Amino acid sequence: MLNNPLNLRQVEIFHAVMVHGTTQRAAEMLNISQPGVSKAIQELERQLGFALFHRSRRRLVPTAEAHFYFREVEESFAALSRLRSAGARIRDFGSGQIRIATLSALSTNIVPRALVRFRKRHPDVSITLQAHLSATVKDLVAARQFDLGLAADEIDVTGVDAQPFSTFRGAIALPDGHPLTAKAELGPEDLDGEDFIALSPEDTTRQELERLLAERGSRPRMVLETPFANTVCAMVQAGMGIGYINPICAEPFLGKGLVLRAFAPPASFRTLLIRPPAMPPSLIIRDCIAAFEEELDATRTYHPLYRSGEEFVPDT
């Protein structure tokens, strides 16, 4: 049983002697004197309570116990090397993983394309991605369970750092062959009496649209309500009615039974990028945010999926 804690410098010197074979070579590699090496080995032997070397003709010959001990030291040195590497990665990049939560509307378009950009720069970073309702995204980020979140602007931003991320002009999604597809642009009066698939009441874009419709006396007939834009598109595609959506959500449905038409005056879809409070972003987080912004710019510039009959391009 050891009376005092081990001196790690002595263990390092023992390791050097075992690796390089002689006290002279170990002294050269560690930039210390040869007597200093010998003294450290003797002190370590006293600490351990057994001999590490046989002294024969001014040479040190490792004992069987030394070989056993060296195996343990090698494992410890490998662990220390991993700790040093981890420290360097955290210093330069932060954690080797990133956790992202997003509202469903961006989970099948901007986010996956942005993460492809990000992963090309950081192929060794592990990514966790989950799609949730915006309120859940906010809660996960506020609790520091996720590093980044994309949420609709309807959320209460108390407890998170929030910044505007995107604003898209909405569009009307129509089943292919619907009479309103004959028009290049639709207005509030065109929605009067139409079977309508609506987003949830707390959605700020729905609220804005309802104000526009009320001002014109237009009253669509709501037949289904859902928090998910992808569900709106699927129900429109199935022929249940029409809906007002963020056009990027229509990408998988265009040309497959769904068409888009511009709507004026428009109601916009706005999203926020949120992070845990009082936590400066690491380089990895900053690079991920940059990838999101680059993909957003690419989407805003022009995307062929926004063409449906007449050209429809989202707001920049």
pLDDT tens for 15-30 read 999 999 888 898 998 9
Beta-bridge partner residues of 244: 172
Closest C-alpha among 44, 52, 47, 49 to residue 68: 52
- Domains delineated in the chain: 8-92 (1.10.10.10), 97-167+270-302 (3.40.190.10), 168-268+307-311 (3.40.190.290)
What is the rounded distance in angstroms from the CA atom of residue 34 to the CA atom of residue 27? 5
Which contacts (CB < 8 Å, 24+ apart) does range 9-14 have? 9/40, 10/40, 10/41, 10/43, 10/44, 10/47, 11/44, 11/73, 11/76, 13/37, 13/40, 13/41, 13/44, 14/40, 14/41, 14/44, 14/52, 14/66, 14/69, 14/70, 14/73
Query: Is the C-alpha dihedral spanning 289, 294, 299, 304 positive or negative?
Result: negative
Lowest mean pLDDT among 76-85, 199-208, 284-293: 76-85
What is the rounded distance in angstroms from the CA atom of residue 249 to the CA atom of residue 228? 10
Q: Are 14 and 41 in contact (CB under 8 A)?
A: yes
Q: Mean pLDDT of all residues in the chain?
A: 89
Q: Grade residue 59 by pLDDT with cuts at 50, 70 and 90.
A: confident
Name the packing angle between helices 34-48 and 23-30 (round to 10°). 100
**221: burial class by Cβ within 10 Å (0-12, 13-18, 19+)?**
exposed
Q: Grade residue 90 by pLDDT with cuts at 50, 70 and 90.
A: low
pLDDT at 283 (0 to 100)? 86
Neighbour count for residue 140 (Cβ, 10 Å): 22
Give the 3-state secondary structure of residue 249.
helix
**Cis before residue 265, ω within 30 degrees of 0?**
yes
Asked whether the predicted pLDDT for residue 5 surpasses 80, the reply is: no
Asked whether the predicted pLDDT for residue 181 surpasses 70, the reply is: yes
Whether the model clears a pTM of 0.85, i.e. scores above it, the answer is: no
What is the rounded distance in angstroms from the CA atom of residue 198 to the CA atom of residue 212? 15
CB-hemisphere CA count at 13 Å for 271?
26
At 129, give phi and psi (nearest 5°): -130, 130
**Identity of the highest mean pLDDT range in 38-47, 235-244, 275-284, 300-309:** 235-244
What is the rounded distance in angstroms from the CA atom of residue 252 to the CA atom of residue 107? 12
At 36, give phi and psi (nearest 5°): -65, -35
End-to-end CA distance of the chain: 72
Average pLDDT (215-241) is 96
- 282 Cβ contact partners less than 8 Å away, ≥ 6 residues apart: 90, 93, 94, 95
Q: How large a percentage of the chain has pLDDT more than 70?
A: 90
